[in-house]
């Protein structure tokens, strides 16, 4: 007989890229006796039923969380407060309640007041993603070798935190514990600012007078395409991230603007030495990321076609 | 007997990522009777000899171009003028002289005055690259399905342009013909501005007070790492690009700054609708690039590990 699964029942509220990947990975790893899913839209619920990757799909959050040992909100951060209010009366005593939002301070402050003292509220943020969204976009390997940051309140139950950490490790993630506000500052620079910049430049390129959109698309391999992947991320999720982490994002934007002005001035003045020094420093940072295993060192990622055409003759 | 190769002798001046890739691909495709290489540094020349991927390595540019039918300068754009002056007296009549620089107007104006009327000067720019540089970084497949833009002067010989186009197509590239100044505007937005932004943000992240460099590296998968690849490109090459294409880059920077101010204002005011609209538009642009075959639609490029760890038990 197999050993007992980590959780008897897991409830996932929302089934986009993250929810769908959690479900697939948890099933593959045998982490739940039963996986119950709900989603706001009837179309998503119908699609999840068709996919057949979970045990049960129900129509309401209240129904989904009933008797669940682990409840994860896999929805945009702006929706977390209302859903917490909604599920609060139906939570099982002793359950772990978590989320996957990219901002933690706001989510913590929005959810905590609604939740009963009988549950363990431990916010989480798996730092993983692709440009795709929707119920079909998830895959079981999404979290492998990615970080999942837990931001338990200072008085959180240690055993519950450890149990949630065990869950994420079983999905392939490395777990880090951090205060919610520090998380928001770190992510403002490693994720939110890059997304904002990418969204900006892709928009800029779309509106030029002297260069057509067709030309931008055609010659994107010179660097532009690297920005478009993250500028194609889910619009609702990212709208909520910027609204929820406003202060930290504005702070990082200020630092970025100062640095951009410095480089702009170097270009205007023809100061090659300043440019060269800056570019040499940033190259070293890239090497640090590759050596930490957070990136592949393959040239061009996996984009390189395998073969040259048949020898010319 | 094999048919005659496209060129009897090809001379490559410089052997970094691009020169090394041209050599490997031209040899694989049998495009040259002989490939002769030179490089400024003795260390590079010694390494090219060891690699054994070309026919002959010589010490000077003058020697390299002797009797060559095709001469390609594979060096930073700032070095093209002096090298053109250097090789001019030694060029074979009827030879095609080209380059691979990311800026075309400046290079054209720097090289053309030195070259004799007896050669065909046809600047070129293969829009392809990786973060790696040096004699070992090249590979034969670099140009497959990438664009190579030729910017022949208005009075260029049509047969010579077509012959150079045939050469690049045989390396796997798609060829586009464009005026040099328009090329510089297109590349300012699709390549030079993205690089400048990436260089800036990677530098910004490196200098924060409240977030450590270790944290930035660790949590880079949230978006930041997408910028680091291009911010790790060759510093000398990119210094020269920004100095040589100053006007177009400053123009694009101005447009970018306006758009960034608009999004910053939307965040400050909590204008979720403006953010959502912008993010929806940029997503469509990404899809255009993928459908044009200039990017893979695979989630996470080739970064996804293949397997979950053994099922937990």
pLDDT beyond 70 at A313: no
Dist CA B23 CA B15 (whole Å): 9
Q: What is the DSSP string of chain A?
A: -PPPPSEEEEEEE--SHHHHHHHHHHHHTT-EEEEEEE-SSHHHHHHHHHHT-SSEE-S-HHHHHTT-SEEEE-S-GGGHHHHHHHHGGGPPTT-EEEE--S--HHHHHHHGGGS-TTSEE--EEEE---S--STTS--TTTTTT-EEEE---TT--HHHHHHHHHHHHHTT-EEEE--HHHHHHHHIIIIIHHHHHHHHHHHHHHT-SSS-HHHHHHTGGGTHHHHHTGGGS-HHHHHHHHHHTHHHHHHHHHHHHHHHHHHHHHHHHT-HHHHHHHHHHHHHHHHHHHHTTSS--STTTT---S-PPSPP-
Of B154, B178, B202, which one is at a domain's C-terminal end?
A: B178
Residue (of B176, B127, B282, B183) closest to A207 by Cα position: B282
Whose tokens are 């609708």? That residue is B273
- pLDDT in the model for residue A306: 43
Verify whether the Cβ–Cβ distance B295 to A308 is below 8 Å.
no
Residue A198 lies in a domain: yes
User: Considering only A56-70, A110-124, A290-304, B20-34, which range has the smallest mean pLDDT?
Assistant: A290-304
Claim to verify: residue A204 and residue A248 sit in the same structural domain: yes
Dist CA B267 CA A252 (whole Å): 13
Claim to verify: residue B25 and residue B172 sit in the same structural domain: yes
Claim to verify: residue B188 and residue B156 sit in the same structural domain: no
pLDDT beyond 70 at B310: no
pLDDT beyond 60 at A148: yes
Claim to verify: residue A21 and residue A125 sit in the same structural domain: yes
Residue B106 lies in a domain: yes
**Are A277 and A218 a contacting pair, CB within 8 Å?**
no
Model confidence pLDDT, tens digit, residues B80-101 = 999 999 999 999 999 999 999 9
Instruction: Read off the CATH number of the domain in which A97 is found.
Output: 3.40.50.720
Q: How many other CB atoms are there within 10 angstroms of residue B285's CB atom? A: 21
Q: What is the complex's ipTM, to 2 decimals?
A: 0.83
Claim to verify: residue B171 and residue B201 sit in the same structural domain: no
Residue A229 lies in a domain: yes
Residue B1 lies in a domain: no
Of A128, A158, A179, which one is at a domain's C-terminal end?
A: A179
Verify whether the Cβ–Cβ distance A308 to B272 is below 8 Å.
no
Measured between beta carbons, the chain B residues lying within 8 angstroms of A130 are 299-300
Measured between beta carbons, the chain B residues lying within 8 angstroms of A238 are 275, 279
Claim to verify: residue B131 and residue B236 sit in the same structural domain: no
Of A179, A201, A217, which one is at a domain's C-terminal end?
A: A179
Residue B271 lies in a domain: yes
**Are B275 and B263 a contacting pair, CB within 8 Å?**
yes
Instruction: Taking the CA atoms of A7, A65, A168 and A94 in sequence, report the sign of the dihedral they define.
Output: negative
- Does residue A211 or residue B304 have the better pLDDT? A211
Cα nearest neighbour of A129 on chain B: B222
Over residues A285-312, the mean pLDDT reads: 60
Residue B297 lies in a domain: no
Over residues B124-150, the mean pLDDT reads: 92
Over residues B242-270, the mean pLDDT reads: 95
Dist CA A240 CA B270 (whole Å): 10
Cα nearest neighbour of B236 on chain A: A276
How many domains is chain A partitioned into structurally? Answer: 2
Verify whether the Cβ–Cβ distance A282 to B228 is below 8 Å.
yes
Q: Could you say which of A127, A219, A242 has the minimum Cβ distance to residue B127?
A: A219
Claim to verify: residue A29 and residue A154 sit in the same structural domain: yes
Claim to verify: residue A132 and residue A18 sit in the same structural domain: yes
**Are B188 and B251 a contacting pair, CB within 8 Å?**
yes
Containing structural domain, residue A165: 7-179
- pLDDT in the model for residue B47: 98
Claim to verify: residue B218 and residue B269 sit in the same structural domain: yes
Q: How far is B293 from chain A (nearest CA, A)?
A: 9
Model confidence pLDDT, tens digit, residues A73-89 = 999 999 999 999 999 99
**Are A56 and A37 a contacting pair, CB within 8 Å?**
yes
Claim to verify: residue A152 and residue A200 sit in the same structural domain: no
Claim to verify: residue A111 and residue A239 sit in the same structural domain: no
Verify whether the Cβ–Cβ distance A231 to B263 is below 8 Å.
no
CB half-sphere exposure, A6, CA atoms < 13 A: 24
Q: Could you say which of A102, A224, A296 has the minimum Cβ distance to residue B303?
A: A296
Confidence of residue B299 (pLDDT cuts 50, 70, 90): very low
Verify whether the Cβ–Cβ distance B205 to A190 is below 8 Å.
yes
Over residues A50-65, the mean pLDDT reads: 98
Find the radius of gyration of the CA atoms of chain A. Answer: 22
Kindly state the tokens that stand for A43: 């179309």
- pLDDT in the model for residue A282: 86
Instruction: Read off the CATH number of the domain in which A249 is found.
Output: 1.10.3660.10
Kindly state the tokens that stand for B202: 């990677």
Dist CA B200 CA B203 (whole Å): 5
pLDDT beyond 70 at B281: yes
Model confidence pLDDT, tens digit, residues A8-37 = 999 999 999 999 999 999 999 999 999 999
Confidence of residue B296 (pLDDT cuts 50, 70, 90): low
pLDDT beyond 50 at A312: no
Claim to verify: residue A223 and residue A156 sit in the same structural domain: no
Q: Could you say which of A137, A255, A279 has the minimum Cβ distance to residue B204?
A: A255
Task: Decide the pairing of beta strands B70-73 and A70-73.
Answer: unpaired
């Amino acid at each position: 007989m197999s050993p007992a699964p980590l959780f008897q029942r897991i409830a996932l509220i929302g089934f986009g890229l993250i929810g769908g990947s959690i479900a697939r990975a948890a099933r593959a790893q045998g982490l739940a006796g039963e996986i119950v899913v709900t989603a706001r839209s009837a179309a998503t619920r119908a699609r999840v039923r068709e996919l057949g990757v979970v045990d049960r799909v129900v129509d309401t959050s209240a129904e989904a969380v009933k008797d669940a040992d682990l409840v994860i909100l896999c929805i945009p951060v702006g929706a977390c407060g209302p859903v917490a209010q909604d599920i609060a009366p139906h939570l099982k005593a002793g359950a772990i309640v978590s989320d996957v939002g990219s901002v933690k301070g706001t989510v913590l402050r929005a959810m905590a007041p609604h939740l009963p003292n009988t549950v363990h509220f431990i916010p989480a943020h798996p730092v993983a993603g692709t440009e795709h969204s929707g119920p079909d976009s998830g895959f079981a390997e999404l979290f492998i070798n990615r970080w999942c940051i837990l931001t338990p309140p200072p008085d959180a139950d240690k055993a519950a935190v450890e149990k949630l950490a065990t869950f994420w490790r079983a999905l392939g993630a490395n777990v880090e514990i951090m205060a919610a506000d520090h998380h928001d500052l770190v992510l403002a620079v490693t994720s939110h600012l890059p997304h904002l910049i990418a969204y900006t430049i892709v928009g800029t390129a779309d509106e030029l007078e002297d260069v057509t959109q067709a030309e931008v698309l055609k010659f994107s391999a010179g660097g532009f395409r690297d920005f478009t992947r993250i500028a194609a991320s889910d619009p609702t999720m990212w709208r909520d991230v910027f609204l929820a982490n406003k202060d930290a994002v504005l702070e990082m934007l200020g630092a970025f603007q100062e640095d951009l002005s410095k480089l702009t001035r170097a270009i205007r003045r023809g100061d090659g030495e300043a440019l060269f020094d800056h570019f040499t420093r940033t190259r070293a940072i890239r090497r640090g990321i590759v050596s930490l295993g957070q990136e592949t060192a393959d040239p061009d990622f996996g984009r390189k076609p395998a073969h040259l055409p048949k020898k010319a003759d």
